Amino acid sequence: MKMRKWLIGMLLAFIAFFVWVPLWLLISGSLMGAEEMTQNLAPVLGNTEGTAVWPLLPMYPTLKPYIELLLDTPQFFAMFWNSCRQVFPVVIGQVLIGAPAAWAFARFHFRGKKILYSLYIVLMLMPFQVTMVSSYLVLDNLGLMNSVWAIILPGAVSTFPVFLMVRFFTSIPSALTEAAALDGAGPLQIFFHIGLPLGAPGILSAVVLGFLEYWNALEQPLTFLQDKTLWPLSLYLPTVTADNAGVSLVASVIMLVPALLIFLFGQRYLEAGISASGMKD
């Protein structure tokens, strides 16, 4: 029995290795000085002869690339700011618009609810290729193409967060809402004083999943933002060339940090959200 456990542990550790090594390389690589970086990666980025080297520990670790990025690269802040002002409004919008709708789907009975909810599920499962043209047509009509709104508006009306929150709102015991109604609380009061606090895990899992999704967004900004000064980090980093590899690696790490923090603090909600997305109703 002990032997078996040990074997399973080794196997799991081996697989986890594929996750931890890239992360480690990313962070250790960001501490390489510019010279070391050029030397190590030239065979890949500059197409010189030989093979690339990515040491597990940099020979001469230095924070210089970080300082360079933070002090001398104003474009980086512009990109980072672009990412923030596109992602946060999307997530906030999803909650503001989605939570009341989810509450209605979870707690009320009304004509057409079933059809409407099915429609929401269908919409949530549609890939970007389907909604891309229609979004473009609206955004173009509203004159919003090539502005942050082109990312925010379609993102904020996504129906996936609604679906997730419905799952969590439904699980609030109806005895609670009934008792509140008995005490004379109106529907709004019940929503704010019972629905929101008790449904918080659902809202948080929508927030965590939404953040990770949009922080990583590629398709939408690539299509709707022609102006490169509006590009978020997620779109800018893949276009990096050899001469600024060092800076881009640091930018990669800095971009990773918010996502990792949200992941680590919100892992519980993330897992709950994933499980909820797989449950049948």
> With binding defined as CB under 8 A, does residue 59 bind another protein?
no
Q: Tell me the closest approach of the beta carbon of residue 4 to another protein, in angstroms.
A: 8
CA distances from 123 to 117, 119, 127, 168 (A): 10, 6, 9, 20
Q: Give me the least distance between CB of 74 and another protein, in Å please.
A: 19
The angle formed by the CA atoms of residues 62, 67 and 69, to the nearest 5 degrees, is: 115
CA 117 to chain centre: 24
Q: Which of 121, 176, 185, 196 binds another protein (CB under 8 A)?
A: 121
**Two structure tokens written together for 102:** 């989810």
**Interface with another protein in residues 174-213 (CB under 8 A):** 178, 181-182, 187, 191, 212
Q: Which of 62, 75, 131, 170 binds another protein (CB under 8 A)?
A: 131
State which residue, 70 or 137, has the beta carbon closest to another protein.
137
Q: Which of residues 229-268 bind another protein (CB under 8 A)?
A: 233-240, 245, 248-249, 252-253, 255-256, 259-260, 262-264, 267
CA distances from 218 to 148, 213, 223 (A): 14, 10, 9
Within the chain, residue ranges assigned H as helices are 2-29, 34-45, 64-72, 74-107, 113-125, 128-141, 149-156, 160-170, 174-182, 187-190, 196-198, 200-215, 219-224, 233-236, 245-277
> How many residues of this chain bind another protein (CB under 8 A)?
104
Position 115 contacts another protein (CB under 8 A): no
Stretch that binds another protein, among 63-71, 123-131, 199-207 (CB under 8 A): 123-131
Instruction: State which of residues 35, 114, 197, 275 lies at the interface with another protein (CB under 8 A).
Output: 275
Give yes or no for residue 62 binding another protein (CB under 8 A).
no
Residues 74-113 that bind another protein (CB under 8 A): 96-98, 100-101, 103-105, 108-111, 113
Of 64 and 187, nearer to another protein (C-beta) is 187
Q: Which of 3, 19, 56, 71 binds another protein (CB under 8 A)?
A: 19
* Euclidean distance between CA atoms 70 and 64, whole angstroms: 10
Residue pair 248/136 in contact by the 8 Å Cβ criterion? no
